Structure 1
Amino acid sequence: MMVSVTSTAFAEDATLVKLPQVHGEGAYLIDVKSGQTLFMKNPDKPLAPASTTKIMTGLLAIERGNLNETVTASTTMLNNKLVYGTQIYLAPGEKLLLKDLLYALLLNSANDAAVDIAEYIGSDLPNFVDMMNQRALEIGATETHFQNPSGLTESGHVTTAHDLALIARVAYQNPVFAQYVRTKSQAISRSKADLPIQMVNENKLLWRDSAVDGIKTGYTAAAQNCLVASVTKDGRQLIGVILKSPGREIYTDMQDMFEYGFTQYKQTILKPTGSVISTAMVNNEPMNLIIDRPIYITTKLNEQSPTLDLRVIPTYTSALTSVEEGQVLANVEVLNKGTLLNTLPLKSSRSISAPTKQVKTHSYLPWVIGIIIMGIILPLFIWNKRYSDFQRCKQRRFTRRRESSN
């Protein structure tokens, strides 16, 4: 089922602001709550992501690993073709908690931590890279192809500004991931002395602007400067991506993109929490399907709100006979001109119990009763008949004796 919805109001007057002048070859700005695009530059151009690759590595570690589990570094740490550049100098056999390796990965951007995590989660590097690419496809990052977990330069290791924004948005919606990337510094536990223990976040905007709350930097000679950043202000969150920027102007360019997003766009609630989006039949009763969080729409100032399409996809495959209140029965996809912006669960608004099963006694009860009656009456009838016959026979014999005596 598809429904088109539009906010009826126009956005407020815009302050005259030019488009951001971004020096990087690719850039993207996305509104996290609505999923709508606010600005883009060469959004689908394949570019090397450098250490912003570690967003995906960290996300998979959090989704599939146990943060309190101990990870033992393998001899891969000695392979200087896989492990070089920024490191915390892990040695084969060294044991670290996964939660500490994630600080090394997402704050210090340690390449050896990326490899150690990949071998722990995926058992080996090729399998983990397959997991990275599969997760990218699930997110919708169809132009992304990873070759390693660290982002070190390798042929075919590419993404786009658009894809990286999608990956970052999904990653940041994981609260554990969000906590890591907003952390400025964190000490980790090491078993040996004279090894790095203080992990410091390389994202300069995190230190400069209190509204900035993540995410990840990156640099290689081939990729040049890369930055994915998040900012939250006045109840809105934006995520920006800049790839292949020639210098440190990447930070001011990102701030310009953020300023543009906040001053030139307004966010409103299209459908509040509890809105009925669709219905389902449960035990021949209509059941309202509601959302448990709002659907947002972002509108450029002085422009009419875009039309969003809502597509409902049931999660059940057979007729429903009972449901519990809050049970997910479908998902609603929010689309803008065919582009998927959001997917929200649709939940049942109340409980409906299954019909009570009644034992069908009418079909066989008369037979049971008949058999019981026959079992009682028939023997009595037979006994009575035999008794009557006996009495008649006895009477005839008595009569004959009397006649003979006379």
Structure 2
Amino acid sequence: MYFKKLQRITVIGLLAVLVAGTSLGPAVSANPGPLHTNAKASALIDVESGRLLYSNNGDTSMRIASLTKIMTAIVAIDHGKLTDMVKTSKRAVGKEGSSIYLQLGEEMSLLNMLYGLMLRSGNDAATAIAEHVGGSEEGFVHLMNEKAAFLGLKHTQFKNPHGLDEEGHYSSANDLAKLTAYALKNDVFAEIVSTREKKVPNPHDKWAYSYTNKNKMLSMYEGADGVKTGYTKKALRCLVSSATRQGQQLAAVTINDRDDWLDHRKMLDWGFGNYPLHEIAAKGQLIAGYPLTVGQSFKYPLTEQESHDIRSRLVLYDANTLRYSLGERGLLEWYMKNDRIGAVPVYDVASGRLKLPTASPKAQQTLVDFKMAVKHDERGRLAGTISKIFDALFKY
């Protein structure tokens, strides 16, 4: 890449000198106190920025039980169609462990099967989803490992879509934190894992299936909105939780933790208390001294001390580059001491790029499919209610 102009701008407080109207906001703690859990491995991540706020034994590969299903769900959402009807095979019906009790040949929408996967941890649902989306369980596992490589999860390898103990099937606390931060940015995934109870059409009877979420954090912790429980005899208790407070979402991971509910409350409290999320730059803000504007918002969790260590650098592109021809004028990079923590594109003040949607076409289509699947269920419930009324009227 060629630069027409490279200029370092030292910013004091980041406020008046570079980005007009930016405020770091109040910080809470200058020096975070120690954090201890009972877990063999643990991690805490800020979802917006992807910054790991805490890690203990975080890069050690371990058995992860049903935390596997976080990857199963996001791969199914990314590669599948939520309105598709998934047919239950003999292999899925016979899967051991936790189950939503699918029957051989039973059909359920992919969306509803994902609710059964994430709320009730159904291993039968995991297998049926894998066979439908991947063509086979093995094909789907290939997609899972492909996604892990794409996300840079270097201490992760999948052998199955459900998380039952198997040699060579593992992940780490840090990798699971990164995976969860990625998954929670998907609106459909976030909606599913935050649901406390879901009614699903029952093809065998007039009453609906009712899936109650096993994640107790949803009722135990203010702002909790996910994610997944897990347990096997070898992995022991595993948990990924998330919570949102004052616009900041954190995700906590523990592996092999006998007191995970308490530890997750401590971890989330520690994160919110010590690393509040700061809006360092907002989309559309002007860059002082230049006819340029910030192309997207940039937020980052910082302690009080760290908020004084942020510096920026403006890099302007050569007019002959492809990025310039596509409307980008440069990058606004942010550093904490000497480590780059993020970057956002900059555009001309009147650039049409500022009006483009942030969601990808695939993400937009997934939301459309989600709404269609929900409406289909609502129509089915209405028809079922009408049928019950007629049955009652003509019973005698």
Same fold (TM over 0.5): yes
Distance in 1, matches of 2:10 and 2:243, equals: 28
Q: Is the 8 A contact 1:144 1:163 kept in 2?
A: yes
Give the match for residue 164 of structure 2: 152
Percent identity over the alignment? 31
Quick check: 1:299 aligned with 2:299?
Answer: no
Whole-angstrom CA distance in 1 between matches of 2:316 and 2:120: 42
- Other structure's SS at 1:300 match: coil
The 10-residue stretch of structure 1 (302-311 or 199-208) with the greater mean CA deviation from structure 2: 302-311
Moved more, 328-337 or 51-60: 328-337
Partner of 1:130: 142
Q: Which of 187, 192, 203 is 2:204 aligned to?
A: 192
Query: Take 2:182 and 2:330, find their aligned partners in 1: how far apart are those partners?
Result: 20
User: Is 1:250 aligned to residue 282 of structure 2?
Assistant: no
Paired position in structure 1 for 2:269: 259
Return the offset for 1:274.
Answer: 2.1
Q: Which runs of 5+ in 2 are unaligned?
A: 14-23, 353-396
Q: What letter matches 1:21 in structure 2?
A: H
Provide the rounded CA distance (Å) in 2 between the counterparts of 1:291 and 1:109: 40
State the shift of 1:126 in Å.
Answer: 1.3
Distance in 2 (CA, whole Å) between partners of 1:317 and 1:53 is 46
Confirm whether residue 66 of structure 1 aligns to residue 81 of structure 2. Answer: yes
Which of 91, 95, 99 is the matching residue for 1:76?
Answer: 91
| SS of 1:237 mapped into structure 2 | strand
- Counterpart of 1:270 in structure 2 is 280
Matched with 2:115 is: 103
Quote how far apart the aligned CAs of 1:95 are: 0.7
Q: CA deviation at 1:37?
A: 2.1
2:179 equivalent to 1:179: no
1:86 offset after TM fit, Å?
Answer: 0.5
CA distance 1:303–1:329, shift in 2 (3 Å): closer
Higher relative contact order (CA 8 A, sep 6+): 2
Cα distance in structure 2, aligned partners of 1:266 and 1:257: 14
Counterpart of 2:359 in structure 1 is: none
SS in 1 for 2:35: coil
Deviation at 1:190, TM superposition (A): 2.2
Task: Report the Cα distance in structure 1 between the residues aligned to 2:10 and 2:135, rounded to whole angstroms.
Answer: 47
- Give the count of matched residue pairs: 335
Report the AA paired with residue 204 of structure 1. Answer: K
- Are positions 1:169 and 2:181 aligned together? yes
Mapped contact 1:74–1:93 kept (Cα < 8 A): yes
Deviations 1:143-175 (A, max 9, x none): 111111111111111111110000000100111
Taking structure 1 as the reference length, the TM-score comes to: 0.72
1:38 aligns with 2:48: no
> For the Cα contact (< 8 Å) 1:289–1:329, is it kept in 2?
no
Q: Measure, in 2, the Cα distance between the counterparts of 1:98 and 1:334.
A: 41
Residue among 287, 291, 294 paired with 1:290: 294
After superposition, the Cα gap between the structure-2 partners of 1:111 and 1:318, relative to the gap in structure 1 and judged at 3 Å, is same
Take 1:5 and 1:84, find their aligned partners in 2: how far apart are those partners? 60
Aligned to 1:49: 64
Q: Give, as a single letter, the amino acid of the residue that structure 1 aligns with 2:53.
A: L
Q: Which residue in 2 is equivalent to 1:237?
A: 249
Deviation, structure 1 residue 20: 2.3
Q: CA deviation at 1:310?
A: 7.2
Distance 1:16-1:345 versus aligned 2 partners, 3 A rule:
closer
When structure 1 is superposed on structure 2, of 341-350 and 63-72 the one drifting more is 341-350
Which of 123, 129, 135 is the equivalent residue of 1:117? Answer: 129
Structure 1, gaps ≥5 residues long: 278-285, 353-406
For 1:147, give the aligned amino acid. K
